[in-house]
């Protein structure tokens, strides 16, 4: 099948993922996926990198240059390409994703639940508090997968990032947030694969010890990339540092749809 679930774990750096997320590491050890490191674009901020992930266009060209840039995207996203190809799109994510691809500004009174729309994200469940529980978020995504039969869905969590901003990347709290997400994925991932989904797990950016992210350090820029797909050779390839601009064309490849003209050619698999 050409269905894809993209899981974005906001604020998760590669070092923490590869050290403490034991379920995902178990699947690497047993050759169940391909594992890379990905180098996030700059600035290493959330809203600009949501746009990079979905469009493959860097910030200086796409115009989403900070978290304060609140407007619809002007680029062609994977959501749009998938919908144009007749695929069903969905997102269980932070409300900034809705602002980029469906409605801006986001109104929490009317825009939290967006089902069966004609927008780029046809079915969306959007939250607007950073501490919205990851357990609820993953359940929201599972609902859209099961009830709306989405072909391309984004599941985007904020708890790791939220904890990182409070305690920093060297804290026990940050590690514990990553461990909790690893356990949540363990409860869902194998079922998604049995249903024929390809699954990509990554992050937008990392986190540093000073409770922030924006710069060029490895902690802020290097994030994990796990790919579960029979279209990609399995194995531990983490010596390879993949540019984040490669993620959008990868998603198009997995969905078997044409990438946009603005996206790079896919080169790392």
Residue-wise pLDDT for 83-127, tens only, equals 999 999 999 999 999 999 999 999 999 999 999 999 999 999 999
Give the DSSP letter of residue 216: S
Q: What is the CATH number of the domain that holds 106?
A: 3.40.720.10
Please identify which residue in the block is written with the tokens 């750096």: 13
Instruction: Classify burial at 198, counting beta carbons within 10 Å of its beta carbon; exposed 0-12, middle 13-18, buried 19 or more.
Output: buried
Structure token digits, residue 237: 């390839």
Work out how many domains the chain is built from and give that number: 1
- Examine residue 200 and state whether it is found in any structural domain, yes or no: yes
- Examine residue 268 and state whether it is found in any structural domain, yes or no: no
- Examine residue 263 and state whether it is found in any structural domain, yes or no: no
184-218: pLDDT as tens digits: 999 999 999 999 999 999 999 999 999 999 999 99
111, β-bridge pairs:
none
Tell me the average pLDDT of the chain. 98
Q: How far apart are CA 249 and CA 144, in angstroms?
A: 24
Count CA atoms within 13 Å of residue 212 on its CB side: 5
124-137: pLDDT as tens digits: 999 999 999 999 99
Residues ≥6 apart with Cβ < 8 Å to 232: 34, 254, 269
- What is the reported pLDDT for 1? 76
Q: How far apart are CA 218 and CA 142, in angstroms?
A: 32
- Examine residue 175 and state whether it is found in any structural domain, yes or no: yes
- Examine residue 261 and state whether it is found in any structural domain, yes or no: no
- Examine residue 260 and state whether it is found in any structural domain, yes or no: no
What value does the mean pLDDT take over residues 48-52?
A: 98
Q: pTM for this one?
A: 0.98
Task: Give residue 101's domain range.
Answer: 4-255
């Amino acid at each position: 099948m050409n269905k894809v679930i993209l899981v974005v774990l906001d604020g998760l750096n590669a070092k923490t993922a590869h050290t403490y997320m034991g379920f995902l590491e178990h699947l690497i050890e047993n050759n169940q996926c391909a594992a890379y490191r990905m180098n996030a674009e700059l600035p290493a901020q959330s809203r600009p990198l949501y746009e990079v992930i979905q469009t493959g266009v860097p910030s200086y060209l796409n115009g989403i240059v900070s978290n304060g840039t609140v407007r619809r995207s002007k680029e062609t996203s994977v959501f749009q390409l998938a919908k144009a190809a007749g695929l069903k799109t969905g997102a269980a994510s932070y409300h900034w994703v809705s602002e980029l691809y469906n409605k801006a500004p986001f109104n929490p009174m009317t825009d939290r639940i967006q089902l069966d729309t004609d927008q780029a994200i046809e079915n969306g469940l959007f939250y607007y508090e950073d501490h919205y529980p990851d357990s609820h978020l993953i359940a929201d995504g599972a609902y859209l997968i099961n009830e709306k039969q989405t072909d391309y869905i984004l599941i985007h969590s904020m708890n790791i990032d939220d904890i990182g901003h409070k305690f920093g990347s060297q804290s026990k709290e940050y590690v514990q947030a990553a461990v909790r997400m690893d356990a949540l994925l363990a409860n869902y991932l194998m079922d998604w694969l049995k249903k024929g989904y390809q699954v990509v797990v990554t992050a937008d950016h990392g986190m540093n010890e000073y409770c922030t992210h924006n710069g060029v350090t490895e902690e802020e820029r290097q994030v994990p990339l796990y790919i579960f797909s029979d279209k990609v050779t399995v194995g531990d390839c983490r010596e390879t540092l993949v540019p984040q601009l490669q993620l959008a064309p990868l998603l198009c490849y997995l969905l078997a749809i044409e990438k946009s003209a603005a996206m790079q050619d896919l080169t790392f698999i």
